[in-house]
Amino acid sequence: MADACALDPTRTLACRNTPEATHLKLIFTALIFFTSAVGISSPVFFARLFRNSPAYAHTLLLIKCYAAGVILSTSLVHVLPDASAALADGRVASRRPWRDFPFSGFVCMAGALVALLVDVATTSSSHLPKYGPIGRDEEEGMKGCAEQEAEQRFVLKVLEMQMIFHSVIVGVTMGMSQNVCTIRPLVAALTFHQIFEGMGLGGCIAQAGFNLGTTMSMCAMFSVTTPIGIILGMLIFYLTGYDDSSVNALISEGLLGSLSSGILIYMALINLIAADFFHNKAMSSKPWLKKASYTALVLGSVSMSLLVLWA
């Protein structure tokens, strides 16, 4: 697509329309706030409504597995390829050191290692086991339950911070862009992205059992981060005249995207997939639940991957 645009200067000029881009971004800011709020608050609302239902815990687990697939696909199918493409652009790849080393993969790996370091350090300081059995039998003591709840809440807070970091990067990148041909398809892709990711995070919040005030603040934080990132990106453009197609912009986009991808990969594989599939008593004792959870994981991955056709 980039090569086609490069060969068609007329189309390139038509795509770069600052007034139209500003109008689209203002509409998108309101839309993404609404979809983010609906996505993250729906599981919380239904969890409180059906808390005493026997299917409550199983439903939350399936939502969480679906979200893990969405997050894994987001990092590997959306974020990392875009970051690699930015660093592979001819204006960047023709220079040193960018032409001599695969920086997108390296920075992605660094992001995963940083996430691991933060996870290990904070878990060690809180004297909580990284993994404890999720779910408990009736005879288990309250002390074990409290440790599991504290660990679950800690993991959730770290996960939300990583999602917020990623959402701000996406928002700032879009806010600085003046290319309407790029912005239009992103509206559909990111709208579904925020709904799916919000549903997963909302399911985790409901499962962690926070009080109403904390739950509302976490939902609000997720809902506003991408809109705030878009507004911040627009301000950066208008104050600095920042050119999103410049070499420095491509390098920044590539490095930040690769770092974000590594963090999301770690969170999806370690704190969501591994925690549920290997340390959840309900799943290990009920083969049908494990099969349903794996199906939800695959569906989440596939549904998010298919959005790349419109992004």
Q: Say what the pLDDT of residue 242 is.
A: 67
Query: How confident is the model over 129-153, as pLDDT tens digits?
Result: 555 544 544 344 434 445 756 666 6
Under the banding of pLDDT at 50, 70 and 90, the label for residue 284 is confident
pLDDT for position 185: 65
DSSP secondary structure code for residue 134 in this structure: B
Q: pTM for the full model?
A: 0.69
Q: With beta carbons less than 8 A apart as the criterion, state whether 168 and 225 touch.
A: yes
More confident residue, 113 or 271: 113
Q: How many C-alpha atoms does 128 have within 13 Å on its Cβ side?
A: 23
Phi, psi of 16 (to 5 degrees): -90, 90
Q: Are 198 and 40 in contact (CB under 8 A)?
A: yes
pLDDT of 295 above 90: yes
pLDDT digits (tens, 9 = 90+) for 20-71: 888 888 888 898 899 889 988 888 888 777 776 767 778 778 877 887 888 8
Instruction: Give Cα separations from 189 to 120, 144, 183 (angstroms).
Output: 34, 42, 10
Summarize the confidence of residues 162-181 as an average pLDDT: 74
**66-112 tens-digit pLDDT:** 878 888 888 888 888 888 888 888 888 888 888 888 889 999 999 89
Give exposure, 149-178, as e/b (b: 16+ Cβ within 10 Å).
eebbbbbbebbbebbbbbbbbbbbbbbbbb
